[in-house]
Structure 1
């Protein structure tokens, strides 16, 4: 079950993000009953989270807060539990989207996918981890977008 909360003035298509979550979690064999929250927050609250949890200044694009530390399941044994929270800052996403040459909506969908992978234990600290995570992120997002 995915809940989408928009605490910003930015227009966000909650149904699109819920559909993305359903798609990604199904692909990763996570139970449809697993709980996930995707929150859209302004730069001020994001900067506070960034400082509190990572001791870094300023707002960032996305932060993930795992709860039950779920890992991808299998088709026969999907992962169940509370996945956690993803916080996305639309204003940071908009700036990044302009730099990358695509829409803010696409950037935020990518960030949501990125956040879900973090909640499932993926990381990008090491080069091989980075390659695995970003390749999976790209495949999941492109496959989702192709179905829309």
Structure 2
């Protein structure tokens, strides 16, 4: 996976780990290994401007997702693909752009009682799922998306612990 991270904020975000979890999630979701994802890290004024322009809401938000190509996951976690070689194998796609606001993530992490890094990993996973067409507007969609998000993060933590151990 090609994950490009540009940090335009003054807050360090651990780009190597952020890129690693993004690649992990894309891989788990069956996205072509040469697909491209861009993650932009911005300050509060920039995020507030994007949120107002694209979502019609005032103030900053934690994550925004801007899909590029219409993608469908080749697999869902725990489900083997029906045919591992398909027409898209020669056409890696541009997944899209995720915009994160670390200042918002810091306050959310404190409120949730976990680390800033955990919050960024959750927001990155959340953003990728949005890029892949998941949403949480309806209760059933919310259960599916947040359940998948939790499953991916749990697997990420387990693999990270295993590699450290």
**TM band (smaller chain):** over 0.9
Larger radius of gyration: 2
**Residue of 85, 101, 121 corresponding to 2:97:** 85
1:134 and 2:135 matched: no
Q: TM-score, normalised by structure 2?
A: 0.86
Alignment of 1:107-118 (within 5 A): 107-118=119-130
Aligned to 1:21: 22
Q: TM-score, normalised by structure 1?
A: 0.96
CA distance in structure 2 between the partners assigned to 1:45 and 1:81 by the alignment: 27
Instruction: Give secondary structure in 2 for the equivalent of 1:94.
Output: helix
Aligned to 1:49: 50
Q: CA deviation at 1:39?
A: 1.1
Q: CA deviation at 1:115?
A: 0.1
Task: Count residues with an aligned counterpart.
Answer: 148
Aligned to 2:5: 4
- After superposition, the CA RMSD in angstroms is 1.2
Instruction: Give secondary structure in 2 for the equivalent of 1:105.
Output: helix
CA distance in structure 2 between the partners assigned to 1:33 and 1:83 by the alignment: 10
Higher relative contact order structure (alpha carbons within 8 Å, sequence separation ≥ 6): 2
Q: CA deviation at 1:131?
A: 0.2
Instruction: Give secondary structure in 2 for the equivalent of 1:56.
Output: coil
Aligned to 1:102: 114
CA distance in structure 2 between the partners assigned to 1:139 and 1:72 by the alignment: 16
